[in-house]
Structure 1
Amino acid sequence: MIHPPVPHNEKERLKALHNLNIINSDPEECFDNITELASYICNMPISMITLVDETRQWFKSKTGTDMCDSDRDVSFCSHAILEPQNFMEVEDTHKDPRFHDNPLANDGDNPIRYYGGMPLLNSAGMALGTLCVIDTKVNKLNEHQIKALKALAKQVETLFEARYKNFLLEEARKDLDDHNTLLKDFAGVVSHDMKMPLANMVLTADVIKKKYGHLLGEDGKKYLDQLKRSGLNLSDYITGILNHYESEKLANTATEEIDLHNLLEDIIDLLGIEEDCEINFPKKNVNIKINRAALEQIFLNLISNSLKYNNKERIIIDIGFEKQGDFYVFTVEDNGIGVKQEEQKEIFKLFSTLSILDRKGNKGHGIGLTTVKKLVTNLGGTVKIKSELEKGTKFTFTVQAT
Structure 2
Amino acid sequence: MIESHLRIPEKPLQADTTEINLLHLCPEKDFDDILVLASQLCNTTVAAIIGVTNGIPWIKSVFGTEEKETLLNPCFWKPVMEQERILGIEDLKKDPDFQSLQSKFTFYAGVPLISAFQKVGVLYVADEKPGDLNDNQRVALDILSRQILNQIDYQKQHNELLKVQKKLQERYRELEKFSSVVSHDIKSPLANIISLTELLQEENKDSLNADTVQYLDFLIQSSYSLRNYVDGILTFYRSEKILDKAKEDVELQKFFKSIADLYQVNSNVEISYPLIGTLQKVNKAAMAQIFMNLISNALKYNSKPFRKVEISFSETERHYYFEVLDNGNGIPAEDFDKIFDLFTTLDSNDRDGNPGTGIGLATVKKLLDHLGGTITVESELHKGSNFKFKIKRM
Common fold by TM > 0.5: yes
Q: In the alignment, which of 102, 107, 114 is matched to residue 107 of structure 2? A: 114
Cα distance in structure 2, aligned partners of 1:19 and 1:220: 76
Cα distance in structure 1, aligned partners of 2:13 and 2:371: 56
Q: In the alignment, which of 138, 162, 168 is matched to residue 176 of structure 1? A: 168
Map 1:311-322 to 2 at 5 A: 312-322=303-313
1:32 partner amino acid: D
- Displacement after TM superposition at 1:236 (Å): 0.9
- Displacement after TM superposition at 1:43 (Å): 2.5
In structure 2, the partner of 1:39 is 39
Map 1:158-173 to 2 at 5 A: 158-173=150-165
In structure 2, the partner of 1:281 is 271
CA pair 319-127 structure 1, distance change in 2 beyond 3 A: same
Please say which of residues 153-162 and 288-297 is displaced more in the overlay.
Answer: 288-297
- Displacement after TM superposition at 1:39 (Å): 2.0
- Displacement after TM superposition at 1:401 (Å): 9.8
Map 1:157-236 to 2 at 5 A: 157-210=149-202, 221-236=213-228
CA pair 138-264 structure 1, distance change in 2 beyond 3 A: closer
Please say which of residues 165-174 and 127-136 is displaced more in the overlay.
Answer: 165-174
In structure 2, the partner of 1:90 is 89
Q: What is the aligned-residue identity percentage?
A: 32
**1:244, 1:367 within 8 Å by CA — same for their partners in 2?**
yes
* Residue 156 (1) aligns with residue 148 (2): yes
**TM-score, structure 1 as length reference:** 0.74
Cα distance in structure 2, aligned partners of 1:244 and 1:300: 13
**1:259, 1:285 within 8 Å by CA — same for their partners in 2?**
no
SS where residue 60 of structure 2 aligns? strand
What do the CA deviations read for 1:145-204 (whole angstroms, capped 9, x no partner)? Answer: 222211221222222222222233333333333333443343334333432221112223
In structure 2, the partner of 1:134 is 126
SS where residue 81 of structure 1 aligns? helix
- Displacement after TM superposition at 1:280 (Å): 3.1
Cα distance in structure 2, aligned partners of 1:292 and 1:197: 34
In structure 2, the partner of 1:367 is 359
What do the CA deviations read for 1:115-141 (whole angstroms, capped 9, x no partner)? Answer: 32111122x232211211223455432
CA pair 216-72 structure 1, distance change in 2 beyond 3 A: farther
CA pair 215-128 structure 1, distance change in 2 beyond 3 A: farther
For the aligned residues, what is the CA RMSD? Answer: 4.1
Unaligned runs of 5+ in 2: 1-11
**2:28, 2:61 within 8 Å by CA — same for their partners in 1?**
no
Unaligned runs of 5+ in 1: 1-6
CA pair 175-83 structure 1, distance change in 2 beyond 3 A: farther
Cα distance in structure 2, aligned partners of 1:295 and 1:152: 47
What do the CA deviations read for 1:39-86 (whole angstroms, capped 9, x no partner)? Answer: 2222233221222124632333322222456796735324422344x2
In structure 1, the partner of 2:18 is 14
- Displacement after TM superposition at 1:316 (Å): 3.0
CA pair 344-96 structure 1, distance change in 2 beyond 3 A: farther
* Residue 348 (1) aligns with residue 366 (2): no
Cα distance in structure 1, aligned partners of 2:73 and 2:110: 17
Cα distance in structure 1, aligned partners of 2:229 and 2:360: 9
2:269 partner amino acid: I
Cα distance in structure 1, aligned partners of 2:23 and 2:133: 33
Q: In the alignment, which of 258, 262, 274 is matched to residue 263 of structure 1? A: 258
In structure 2, the partner of 1:3 is none
Please say which of residues 339-348 and 125-134 is displaced more in the overlay.
Answer: 339-348
**1:319, 1:332 within 8 Å by CA — same for their partners in 2?**
yes
Cα distance in structure 1, aligned partners of 2:198 and 2:127: 92
Cα distance in structure 1, aligned partners of 2:140 and 2:174: 51
* Residue 62 (1) aligns with residue 62 (2): yes
What do the CA deviations read for 1:327-377 (whole angstroms, capped 9, x no partner)? Answer: 87654323333223343244334x151333223555422221233345567
SS where residue 150 of structure 1 aligns? helix
**1:289, 1:401 within 8 Å by CA — same for their partners in 2?**
no
SS where residue 110 of structure 1 aligns? coil
SS where residue 129 of structure 1 aligns? strand
**2:378, 2:386 within 8 Å by CA — same for their partners in 1?**
yes
In structure 1, the partner of 2:3 is none
CA pair 307-126 structure 1, distance change in 2 beyond 3 A: same
Cα distance in structure 1, aligned partners of 2:382 and 2:320: 29
Aligned length: 375
CA pair 61-346 structure 1, distance change in 2 beyond 3 A: farther
- Displacement after TM superposition at 1:285 (Å): 7.7
- Displacement after TM superposition at 1:313 (Å): 4.7
CA pair 14-78 structure 1, distance change in 2 beyond 3 A: farther
Cα distance in structure 1, aligned partners of 2:75 and 2:223: 74
SS where residue 339 of structure 2 aligns? coil
In structure 2, the partner of 1:27 is 29
2:65 partner amino acid: T
**2:330, 2:380 within 8 Å by CA — same for their partners in 1?**
yes
What do the CA deviations read for 1:274-333 (whole angstroms, capped 9, x no partner)? Answer: xxx843333x883776787666544432232123323x4535323234565688765432
